[in-house]
């Protein structure tokens, strides 16, 4: 129970500024910093609504691990508490068999709404909407609308900034802002004060496109229609903000040759990071061998340029180090910008990156050594000493690049400098220069000393 008290006290002090209510966003962030067993204890110590919100705000990988320690009845209670667009997020973190079992444990009305959201295409805005929007008829008066707003259950409407005017067939014919309602005469109808040309999207529209439409026009919520023009729900501002942040994070990581989802850094283990970086590195590694082929061609040409075989592999080993360093610094810089890494967690970052670098370096070293010793046309038919040089040089340079790439952004932040200054080009240039020293020092010991 001590871990529970420590986490809750920490969040109340740092996240809630002394208030009695614990912010779910802060708890969700804290859950990734403890083991799944401890995280499950934290959730059990909270009120059900707080626990459900914290679970939704936790990173995907963290939730996936936590759900293994939470019984079905408790998860079903969370589903019943949460808005349906948030509840459906949990489906991604568990098997379909368990998900179907959970749907039988919640009220039939909630289960039906979840199934309607699930029917929308994957990645579409139809999976992200809420049906709890403020709908009115065209002949509803301002007085009746305000009375409904005052007397309604707080859970009836997820957002009330805009009211949506629907006809008898549930087709969207206009939108009225709550500000307009408050400033209009009590006897005026929605038809008289509404905007008759509302902007909307189809539920098959991608979530990112819908979020960018919403951002462009500065909406608090965006109406979503089905193919028949009937309004089925709204995309709310918090969901749109999350979509855009994830899209921007994926774009930034892609610039650094890192694939995968936009999960918070600390929620990813070394295998996740390895899987996100290795495909790009292998592709770049293969591409850089062509530079070595050019050097080998001119080094063995009749003109006799006398290029040492050591130079054939310089682009390969230095390029691998620069690419690895670029991946690391891009990942760490983005995590620092989003405050996914706290000041006291630098040692976790460096340890994780060293482990990932050892795995990547060993993989590239094995591939490079095999390529160096393999017969033509698949390899370069080099001596064993050259293959050993590549096998040792690649891991050493990759580990060095990862160390530099993880430390410099953190040190820059501690020094009050924008970590983005330690950008990929800077890291690549630095690693290229220092990597050459590593490569030639190893060559002196493995080749020239013979």
Q: Grade residue 7 by pLDDT with cuts at 50, 70 and 90.
A: low
325-346 confidence digits (pLDDT tens): 888 888 888 888 888 887 677 8
List, in order of start, the domains of the chain with CATH numbers. Answer: 2-119 (1.25.60.10), 133-236 (3.10.580.10), 256-448 (1.10.357.20)
The dihedral of CA 387, 393, 396, 400: what is its sign?
A: negative
Distance CA 47, CA 70 (A): 15
pLDDT at 301: 61
Distance CA 372, CA 379 (A): 6
Angle at 20 between CA 19 and CA 23, to 5 degrees: 80
Q: Grade residue 19 by pLDDT with cuts at 50, 70 and 90.
A: very low
Greater confidence (297 vs 302) lies with 297
Residue 141 has pLDDT above 60, yes or no: yes
192-235 confidence digits (pLDDT tens): 999 999 999 999 999 999 999 999 998 989 999 998 889 999 99
Instruction: Select from 178, 185, 169, 159 the least CA-distant residue to 137.
Output: 169
Section 299-303 average pLDDT:
64
263-293 confidence digits (pLDDT tens): 788 788 899 899 988 888 888 777 777 777 7
Greater confidence (303 vs 36) lies with 36
pLDDT at 355: 94
Q: Grade residue 426 by pLDDT with cuts at 50, 70 and 90.
A: confident
pTM for the full predicted model: 0.73
Written in H, E and C, the secondary structure of the chain is: CHHHHHHHHHHHHHCCCCCCCCCHHHHHHHHCCCCHHHHHHHHHHCCHHHHHHHHHHCCHHHHHHHHHHCCHHHHHHHHHHCCHHHHHHHHHHCCHHHHHHHHCCCCHHHHHHHHHHHCCCCCEHHHCCECCEEEECCCCEHHHHHHHHHHCCCCCCCEEEEEEEECCCCEEEEEEEHHHHHHCCCCCEHHHHCECCCCCEECCCEHHHHHHHHHHHCCCEEEEECCCCEEEEEEEHHHHHHHHHHHHHHHHHHHCCCCCCCCCHHHCCHHHHHHHHHHHHHHHHHHHHHHHHHHHHHHCCCCCCCCCHHHHCHHHHHHHHHHHHHHHHHHHHHHHHCCCCCHHHHHHHHHHHHHHHHHHHHHHHHHHHHHHHCCCCCCCCCCHHHHHHHHHHHHHHHHHHHHHHHHHHHHHHHCCCCHHHCCHHHHHHHHHHHHHHHHHHHHHHHHHCC
pLDDT at 317: 86
Distance CA 148, CA 389 (A): 77
153-173 confidence digits (pLDDT tens): 777 788 888 999 999 999 999
Greater confidence (33 vs 104) lies with 104
Residue 191 has pLDDT above 80, yes or no: yes
Section 81-93 average pLDDT:
79
Residue 186 has pLDDT above 90, yes or no: yes
Q: Is 172 left (phi over 0), alpha (psi -120 to 50) or beta?
A: beta
pLDDT at 302: 61
**Mean pLDDT across the chain:** 83
Section 349-372 average pLDDT:
90
Instruction: Select from 231, 175, 176 the least CA-distant residue to 203.
Output: 231
Section 351-361 average pLDDT:
93
Q: Residue 112 corresponds to which tokens in the numbers above? A: 């039906």
Greater confidence (424 vs 80) lies with 80
Section 74-95 average pLDDT:
82
pLDDT at 22: 63
* Least confident among 13-17, 221-225, 378-382, 384-388: 13-17
Looking at the chain, the whole-number percentage of residues with pLDDT higher than 70 is: 90
pLDDT at 15: 43
Distance CA 241, CA 247 (A): 10
pLDDT at 377: 57
Residue 226 has φ and ψ, to the nearest 5°, of: -85, -175
Q: CB burial class (10 A; 0-12, 13-18, 19+) of residue 175? A: buried
Residue 16 has pLDDT above 50, yes or no: no
Section 136-151 average pLDDT:
91
């Amino acid at each position: 129970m001590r871990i529970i008290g420590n986490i809750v006290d920490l969040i109340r002090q740092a996240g809630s500024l002394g208030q009695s209510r614990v912010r779910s966003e802060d708890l969700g962030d804290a859950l990734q910093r403890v083991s799944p067993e401890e995280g499950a204890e934290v959730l059990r110590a909270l009120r059900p609504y707080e626990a459900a919100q914290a679970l939704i705000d936790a990173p995907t990988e963290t939730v996936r691990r936590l759900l293994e320690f939470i019984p079905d009845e408790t998860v079903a209670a969370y589903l019943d508490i949460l808005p349906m667009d948030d509840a459906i997020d949990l489906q991604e973190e568990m098997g379909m068999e368990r998900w179907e079992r959970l749907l039988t444990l919640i009220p039939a009305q909630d289960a039906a709404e979840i199934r309607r959201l699930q029917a929308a295409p994957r990645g579409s805005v139809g999976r992200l909407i809420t049906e709890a929007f403020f709908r009115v008829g065209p002949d509803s008066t301002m007085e009746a609308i305000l009375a409904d707003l005052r007397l309604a259950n707080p859970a009836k409407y997820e957002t009330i900034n805009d009211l949506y005017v629907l006809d008898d067939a549930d087709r969207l014919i206009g939108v009225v802002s709550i500000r307009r309602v408050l400033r209009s005469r009590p006897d005026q109808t929605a038809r008289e004060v509404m905007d008759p040309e509302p902007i909307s999207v189809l539920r098959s529209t991608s979530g990112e496109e819908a979020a960018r439409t919403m951002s462009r026009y500065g909406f608090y919520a965006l109406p979503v229609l089905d193919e028949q023009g009937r309004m089925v729900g709204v995309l709310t501002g918090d969901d749109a903000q999350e979509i855009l942040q994830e899209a921007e994070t994926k774009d930034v990581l892609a610039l650094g040759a890192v694939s995968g989802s936009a999960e918070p850094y600390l929620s990813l283990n070394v295998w996740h990071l390895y899987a996100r970086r290795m495909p790009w590195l292998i592709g770049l590694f293969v591409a850089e061998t062509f530079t070595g082929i050019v050097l080998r061609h001119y080094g063995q040409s009749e003109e006799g340029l006398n290029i040492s075989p050591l130079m054939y592999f310089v682009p390969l080993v230095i390029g691998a180090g620069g690419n690895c360093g670029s991946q690391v610094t891009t990942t760490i810089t983005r995590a620092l910008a989003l405050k996914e890494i706290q000041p006291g967690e630098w040692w976790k970052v460096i340890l994780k990156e060293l482990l990932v670098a050892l795995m990547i370096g060993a993989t590239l070293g094995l591939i490079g050594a095999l390529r160096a010793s393999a017969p033509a046309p698949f390899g370069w038919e080099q001596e064993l000493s050259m293959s050993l040089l590549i096998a040792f040089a690649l891991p050493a340079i990759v580990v060095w690049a990862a160390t530099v790439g993880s430390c410099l952004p953190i040190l820059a932040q501690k020094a009050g400098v924008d970590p983005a200054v330690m950008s990929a080009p800077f890291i690549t240039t630095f690693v290229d220069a220092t990597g050459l020293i590593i490569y030639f020092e190893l060559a002196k010991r493995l080749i020239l000393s013979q």
